[in-house]
Chain A
């Protein structure tokens, strides 16, 4: 029984989760393209299937049947490893996110917060290694930018996480969602949300902080030398990351799976989570359609001169609040 509990059930859950996430990724691309098209007075994909709903399938087929090109000058093992390294953290970060009452996606561990921080730390490796192993100036510049950017933005991100942790009083995300919060706690949390969201944008390399790939200067940044399925893996990693971080934000700031009747009907939990994630994804896309990109040095300056001090202030005040009001 033990090995069943420890291995088989989690494995089945993980498979289901991966399946859901990859489908979710596919339809996220459709969602983004449709939304961007609406923002830009266009139609978006509308040829493949009704409302272009088969577009993701067509894209997948295309990616699979592309010729596999491995340039001569790359560091082959690292070059092949990098896309996988980019994708894996985006998937495993889901393990600790609660999807319904008392039900985490994989495991209710008592170090949920640390897990998020740790996995977020690994994420940049895929990009750095891709840029380094490609042996291409554009890739290298993209990789350097991304390493600096991700490392920098992890600091304020971590500070905000620590503040939430202090107020919640538990490392477990399941406890965080199910525990009750006072009204001032919610307001205090939501004050931090815009800044947290900015950090997440930088962390996921999404526009306007998509400097590692800046197609206008660096051609395609770290993924310049990648094609076919290997490129698709980076693409999947970016979009799954968007979904994951949206789920994390929903969990931390908006009560995760909670909603009317979610306590009575367990199946409502994932539905509410999905709705919240979709709204947050809309935010990602909205920002992409309307905000220009900063320059690399400006981005770093913003992090170190604004976000980090702000994070420190937020942590200090949160600590005071946690001690005196809870």
Chain B
């Protein structure tokens, strides 16, 4: 039941930066053409509004009526072969000079793994009057790409766009009774009466004081499609092995899983909305908090996106430092995955939990040396890194790299060949390659199903093309395959680190472009110009020319993507984060059906989720 609450709009929330004339501006249309856009134009003719390249990405604007046909064509055409839909997001353009254009746009990121192509498709939403204003809606792509289900629910929840033909269009992150769709531009940044707190008149409180509710009222409403004929248990949000505040409603027949309905959003903190109200450089600190187990990778993904839009050159040394940090973070994240996975599968007494966290601790110590923080590092900034590495860092890192391969062997000796471990993992959580593609899985979940894809190798960034490493894959598609992949990835990361440490060039650790990166502290004492730059950057920030760009990097869990729509001001007009955990978690229902309750826990561990990123 939606609450009728008039949002309190505080003055500073709607205030935007002082913009030069002509800003905000719409993103320009794409220019040029590629093979793929040409083929699409031939096929769809006038239904393609515009097509071409934009910031180096292939972009196609399509008429909403033809969106589904276009997606089907993209997937099925032998020459195009876009197997997977990476991401769905949307833009509310109400604060831009629209000139009669549609207010809402949905944005789709398609990826062809076999041809190594990326395609962005943009479609205007149809609107029909209703409710308090207009109700935008568009065709759902769930029939074409199964994995669109959750991203479309997210768009519906946060932006209010309805997807026609969606099987299960419910809110996913916000509470059921939330009064608005928060990413719409007129939704205030805070100030709503939060409907978490209930009044004493609520029926749920009738039994309060009797310690625990009577059994019949414990499950107020079942998710659609579940039956009380079976046992329905509620795992989470307070459950030892749902890795945070994930809630799973599990329908079971005996100990066999009939279906699972994940309930997300307990940790939703509105990063995207916050991002739209922060200057570009100020959002770096927020990225730490999303996937808090790989903060460095989040920093990197965000900074790379903005730097690409700025056309900024990053000095060689900064690139290598970034690679070092990202790979250390990958090892740290995998170590924590290993620790919790073993804990989930084998019980609390298992020593590997502590062994893995011991090594992770060394990595965190190294982070602390570099930037003073261990978890929320904010070390990688737009233009380079925050500060240069201290002298002792490389020695310590070399020592760590000397020890680490032995430690990985140690872990493997403890469990990899252990029959109990193998029996718990082999054949559990099976995903076929086709399913993995249809569901839009990324990272080890994708490689575990035999698809040889790693953004570091196939769409290199940060100079990854100059490192030698292998991308482990497994054809088994089960938890054991994914386990082996992650173990091997740690070894490969050590290999990359060894190469990076071996030829760390000297030079600048951040860009010399004073319009983007802060001048060094020492310069402020002697240079008036540096002081002005410092002041301008700290107060106003830098402007990014109008446009939009999606960029993905390979973090430890999969593809971490940032979609930024700039209106030319110093704040992103729309900032969307594609978190790998979110898409990968979608698979939990699919892979757990027919398996046992214990396997759900194994599967959660194997998917490797961080709720901070799932809920964002």
Contact = CB atoms under 8 A, between A and B. Distances in A.
B553 to A, nearest CB: 32
Given A72-B211, A297-B596, A289 B351 contact: yes
Contact of B599 (A72, A214, A295): A295
B121 interface: no
Contacts of B601: 216-217
Given A41-B358, A215-B348, A292-B420, A138 B414 contact: no
A42 interface: yes
B462 interface: no
B350 A289 contact: yes
A216 B241 contact: yes
B241 A293 contact: no
Contacts of A152: none
A210 interface: yes
Interface string B252-263: 000100000000
Interface in B577-605: 596-601
Given A214-B598, A216-B241, A216-B347, A292 B354 contact: no
Given A216-B601, A217-B598, A298-B423, A293 B346 contact: yes
A170 B577 CA distance: 74
Interface string A286-303: 001111111111100000
Interface in A73-130: 73
B497 interface: no
A72 B85 CA distance: 50
Contacts of B355: 40-41
Given A40-B353, A141-B255, A295-B598, A216 B343 contact: yes
A141 B597 contact: yes
A295 B418 contact: no
A135 B349 contact: no
A11 interface: no
B212 A73 contact: yes
A210 B598 CA distance: 13
- What DSSP secondary structure best describes chain A's contact surface? loop
B528 interface: no
Contacts of B342: 292
Contacts of A219: 239-240
Contacts of B214: 72-73
A137 interface: yes
A71 interface: yes
Nearest to B207: A72
A73 B213 CA distance: 8
A158 interface: no
A131 to B, nearest CB: 14
A188 interface: no
A39 interface: yes
A70 B210 CA distance: 10
A207 B418 CA distance: 16
Nearest to B424: A295
B102 interface: no
Interface in A251-300: 288-298
B286 interface: no
B347 A295 contact: no
Interface in B408-453: 414-415, 418, 420-421, 423-424
B345 interface: yes
A156 interface: no
B215 A217 contact: no
B350 A290 contact: yes
B241 A292 contact: no
A216 B344 contact: yes
Interface in B196-219: 207, 210-215
Most buried by B among A73, A216, A296: A216
B169 interface: no
B432 to A, nearest CB: 23
A208 B347 contact: yes
Interface string A119-159: 00000000000000001111001000000000000000000
Contact of B420 (A69, A70, A138, A291): A291
A291 B424 CA distance: 12
Contacts of A36: 349, 351
Contact of A72 (B212, B255, B414, B420): B212
A137 B233 contact: yes
Interface residues of A, number: 35
A69 B597 contact: no
B218 to A, nearest CB: 8
B139 to A, nearest CB: 40
Interface in B314-356: 342-351, 353-355
A288 B349 contact: yes
Contacts of B346: 208, 291-293
Given A137-B231, A219-B239, A295 B423 contact: yes
Given A290-B350, A292-B346, A292-B350, A217 B211 contact: no
A296 B350 contact: no
A216 to B, nearest CB: 4
B349 to A, nearest CB: 4
B240 A215 contact: yes
B241 A290 contact: no
A73 B210 CA distance: 10
Nearest to A135: B215
A36 B418 CA distance: 20
Contact of B210 (A72, A214, A290, A297): A72
Nearest to A301: B423
Contacts of B344: 216
Contact of A292 (B213, B232, B233, B347): B347
Nearest to B343: A216
B349 A217 contact: no
A136 B415 CA distance: 34
A293 B215 contact: no
A73 B207 CA distance: 12
Contacts of B343: 216
A36 B353 CA distance: 12
B414 A290 contact: yes
Contacts of A136: 215
A216 B212 contact: no
Contacts of B423: 294-295, 298
B500 to A, nearest CB: 29
Contact of A293 (B240, B347, B353): B347
A217 B420 contact: no
Contact of A207 (B349, B353, B358): B349
Contact of A294 (B351, B353, B354, B420): B420
Interface in A194-210: 207-208, 210
Interface in A209-233: 210, 214-219
B205 to A, nearest CB: 15
Nearest to A294: B420
Given A41-B354, A72-B212, A292 B255 contact: no
A292 B418 contact: yes
Contacts of A214: 347, 598
Contacts of A69: 211
A217 B351 contact: no
Nearest to A137: B233
B424 A292 contact: yes
A219 B207 CA distance: 24
Contacts of A298: 423-424
11 contacts: A73-B213, A207-B349, A208-B420, A217-B598, A219-B239, A288-B347, A288-B349, A292-B347, A292-B350, A293-B347, A294-B423
Given A73-B215, A216-B345, A216-B601, 12 more contacts: A73-B212, A215-B348, A217-B241, A217-B597, A289-B351, A293-B346, A293-B420, A294-B420, A294-B424, A295-B596, A297-B255, A298-B423
Interface of A: 36, 39-42, 69-73, 135-138, 141, 207-208, 210, 214-219, 288-298
Q: Give 5 closest A-B pairs by Cβ, nearest first.
A: A292-B346, A40-B354, A288-B349, A71-B212, A216-B241
